[in-house]
């Protein structure tokens, strides 16, 4: 099945509303930054993009699912920030938005099957302005309610960094670590899960 179809099916049958809250890591790492231009990879229902826009960022938000983008656009409208977000339907495995960004964020940019995730992240990192940042948040453990197989092996933050093949002289690692968090499942149950956070600043 096509990536687009898989995700459209998920969003078409899932809730049409969203938490309205940004990801915990995003608000912690991007909150202290001075707003500029931002690119979000895999924006889903738009909670992070709306939060960034409310913080003053001009946001380009990409997702492969046109259904998710429809919900995201309605969320942005309701929050009164439509004029600061450009939503783009695009399969990142095929192409990446052009342009320079002060912040690139990718939270839980996971997708079933084999796809060149490291390359996608690396290509997006190329667009970061000197002094700008890339924030990658990814699963490092499996929540009990996750659809991923129980024996899923998660990469470490270092593995993900290695898969991106960035030039070591061009980036400083402001955070490259697992971070624990209490996550809430679809039925309100909670569990402690671990995420990897890669927060890198471009030097030149």
Ligand X SMILES: C[S@@+](CC[C@H](N)C(=O)[O-])C[C@H]1O[C@@H](n2cnc3c(N)ncnc32)[C@H](O)[C@@H]1O
Residue numbers of the site for ligand X (CB under 6 A)? 3, 7, 23, 42, 44, 62-65, 68, 91-93, 107-111, 115
In angstroms, give the least distance from the CB of 172 to ligand X: 24
Q: Closer to ligand X at the Cβ: 63 or 102?
A: 63
36 phi, psi to nearest 5 deg:
-150, -130
Judged on CB neighbours under 10 Å (0-12, 13-18, 19+), 44 is: buried
Interface residues toward other proteins, by CB under 8 A: 20-21, 24-25, 27-32, 51, 54-56, 78, 80-81, 174-175, 177-182, 197, 199
Using Cβ positions, the residue closest to ligand X within the complex turns out to be: 42
Give the span between the Cα atoms of 60 and 64, in whole angstroms.
Answer: 13
Q: Which does 64 bind (CB under 5 to 8 A by kind): ligand X, other proteins, none?
A: ligand X
165 phi, psi to nearest 5 deg:
50, 50
In angstroms, give the least distance from the CB of 138 to ligand X: 10
Judged on CB neighbours under 10 Å (0-12, 13-18, 19+), 95 is: exposed
Nearest CA-CA partner of 122 in 161, 158, 178 = 161
Q: Which does 44 bind (CB under 5 to 8 A by kind): other proteins, ligand X, none?
A: ligand X
């Amino acid at each position: 099945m096509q990536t687009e179809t898989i995700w459209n099916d998920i969003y078409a049958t899932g809730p049409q509303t969203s938490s309205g809250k940004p990801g915990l890591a995003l608000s912690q790492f991007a909150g202290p930054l001075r707003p500029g231009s931002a690119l979000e990879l895999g924006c889903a229902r738009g909670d992070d993009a709306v939060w960034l826009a409310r913080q003053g960022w001009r946001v380009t938000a990409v997702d492969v699912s046109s259904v998710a983008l429809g919900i995201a656009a309605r969320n942005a409208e309701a929050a009164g920030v439509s004029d600061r977000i450009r939503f783009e339907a695009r399969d990142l495995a095929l192409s990446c938005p052009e342009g320079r960004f002060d912040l690139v964020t990718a939270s839980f940019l996971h997708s079933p099957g084999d796809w060149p995730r490291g390359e996608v992240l690396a290509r997006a990192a190329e667009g970061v302005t000197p002094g700008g940042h890339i924030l990658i948040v990814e699963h490092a453990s499996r929540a009990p309610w996750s659809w991923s197989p129980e024996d899923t092996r998660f990469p470490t933050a270092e593995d993900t960094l290695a898969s991106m093949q960035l030039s070591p002289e061009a980036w400083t690692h402001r955070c490259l670590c697992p971070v624990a968090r209490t996550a809430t499942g679809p039925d309100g149950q909670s569990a402690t899960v671990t995420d990897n956070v890669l927060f890198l600043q471009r030097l030149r």
